[in-house]
Amino acid sequence: MAPPFKQAEFDILYGEGISREGSLIDVGVDQGIVKKSGAWFTYETDQLGQGKENARTFLKDNPDLANEIEKRIKEVMGIGAKLDAPADIPTSALPEIASTSEATPKAPAKSAAKPIDVE
């Protein structure tokens, strides 16, 4: 179970629900990935917009950039597995798979259709 009395803040938009892009902006600013200078939001060399609503609209119109920001946030926060990293599972721990020539055919299920003799 999670610890009690934790707080979370997020934008809820009528007809859309929780704003993913707004959350990316908020967490990106908190983690130093998205820069805020006055009312302007910037990611690396890209101006996201003046004001949070314009930046949110820009990210919604540019999903590749939003996905890149999300990936950077996850890397900084240590969330999720790295896709480029090799698997740490030794081959001896993997289950053996029987070859198809050794496999025996399965019997039909009891609920399978049965022929009816009609005279």
Q: What does each of the 119 residues of the chain score in pLDDT, given as a tens digit? A: 668 888 888 889 999 999 999 999 999 999 999 999 999 999 999 999 999 999 999 999 999 999 999 999 999 998 876 656 565 656 665 566 655 555 556 666 666 666 777 76
What pLDDT score does 65 carry? 95
What pLDDT score does 114 carry? 67
What pLDDT score does 6 carry? 85
- CA max distance for the chain: 88
What pLDDT score does 38 carry? 94
What pLDDT score does 35 carry? 96
User: What is the bridge-based pairing of β-strands 12-13 and 40-43?
Assistant: unpaired
Entry pTM: 0.62
Architecture of domain 12-82: 2-Layer Sandwich (3.30)
Helix, strand, coil shares of the chain, percent, nearest 5, are 35, 15, 50
> How many whole angstroms separate alpha carbon 35 and alpha carbon 41?
6
Which stretches within 19-101 are classed as H helix?
Answer: 20-31, 52-61, 63-77
- Given the structure tokens 């740490």, which residue do they identify? 88
> How many whole angstroms separate alpha carbon 77 and alpha carbon 28?
11
